[in-house]
Structure 1
Amino acid sequence: MPVRETRIGAYGICIDSGKILLIKKAKGPYKGLCDLPGGGIEFGESPPDTVVREFLEETGIAVEVRDLVGAFSRVSTFVSDTGTHMVELHHLGFLYRVSVSGPAPVKSGPDGHDSLGTVWLPLTDARPETLSPLAAEGLRCIGSPMRV
């Protein structure tokens, strides 16, 4: 029987000059795929504050949260990072449009936690097979076309 978990997070969609800022996942159900920067909401933290904190931690970029554009709910089953058991994850997320609040180089290497690095992906290169379901939903919420 899989271990059941629920994760609630907040994520940012940052598009600049026809590119979207994504991280490459190091673990979890979206391992190896490009995903939206963001993560778990800490006790007492607002979802927009979570987006600002997680963006800085994962990408090195300070952002301003613009508006809530959608929500995400998905159940995934995957092998745990330790390889010892199955996990059934209910992932819930708030999706926000964000903008860069100042010039900064992105973190290109792993963050030692959840990201293998950050990438500015041209929207013309966004394909379902390279994006997490969360990133694909984020693009759908802002009306950005995705190549199939």
Structure 2
Amino acid sequence: MTEIVRKLRVAAYAVIIEDDRILLSRWLGPERPRWILPGGGIDHGEDPYDAVIREVFEETGYRAEVHRLLGIQSVRGPLNLDGADLDYHRLRILYEAKVVGGELTYEVGGSTDQAAWVPLAELPDLDHVESVDVGLEMYWKRPVDGRPADLG
């Protein structure tokens, strides 16, 4: 019997909308590249607010300014990573932000390889992770408790 290992990942992501477009990064996931909100893992000792600003810059080349905390998405479930069974718990801290400088560039040697402004109308047909939908829901509905509704 395989021992299940617990793993916690805490990350911060930005929802950046401008002119009916959303800024996304293309994540090089284990199955295939998929579009995701710019952001990522928080370093030990790093404030999530600082992490999201750093991650947006690393993945898109843009300097971001955080406007407000949208909420936190908590997702837990099994994951098999490199042959190890994990009880994987992901905490995603979602912020509303805007671009205040820089220019669109791609991350080199990281977990993403592209960034783009995607028209909101094209998002349903774009291969993207579910946290993009969660981020948009929180952006539009602004839940008082900071928790997304069940999108299932």
- Please classify the TM superposition score into its range, dividing by the shorter chain length: 0.7 to 0.9
Calculate the TM-score normalised by the size of structure 2. 0.80
Provide the aligned C-alpha RMSD in A.
Answer: 2.2
Structure with more strand by fraction? 2
Aligned residue in 2 for 1:107: 105
Question: Once the two structures are superposed, what CA deviation does each residue of 1:60-98 show, in whole Å capped at 9, x if it has no partner?
Answer: 110000000111111244442xx4334442110111000
Paired with 1:77 and 1:111, the residues of 2 have a C-alpha distance of 30
**Structure 2 unmatched ranges of 5 or more:** 142-152
Matched, 1:27 2:25: no
Paired with 1:28 and 1:3, the residues of 2 have a C-alpha distance of 19
Question: Once the two structures are superposed, what CA deviation does each residue of 1:88-145 show, in whole Å capped at 9, x if it has no partner?
Answer: 421101110000012x33124x53121121121110011287221211100000118x
- Shift >6 Å, 4+ stretches: none
- Identity across aligned pairs (percent)? 31
Counterpart of 2:114 in structure 1: which amino acid?
G
How many pairs align? 139
Counterpart of 1:68 in structure 2: which amino acid?
L
For residue 16 of structure 2, give the secondary structure of its aligned residue in structure 1.
strand
For residue 140 of structure 2, give the secondary structure of its aligned residue in structure 1.
coil
Question: Does the 8 A contact of 2:11 with 2:42 survive in 1?
Answer: yes
Question: Does the 8 A contact of 2:35 with 2:126 survive in 1?
Answer: no
Question: Does the 8 A contact of 1:3 with 1:88 survive in 2?
Answer: yes
Name the CA shift for 1:19/1:129 in 2 (closer, same or farther; >3 Å).
Answer: closer
For 1:3-22, list aligned pairs within 5 A.
3-22=5-24
Aligned residue in 1 for 2:120: 123
Counterpart of 1:39 in structure 2: which amino acid?
G
For residue 127 of structure 1, give the secondary structure of its aligned residue in structure 2.
helix
Instruction: Report which of the two structures shows the higher radius of gyration computed on alpha carbons.
Output: 2
**Structure 1 unmatched ranges of 5 or more:** none
Aligned residue in 2 for 1:132: 129
Calculate the TM-score normalised by the size of structure 1. 0.82
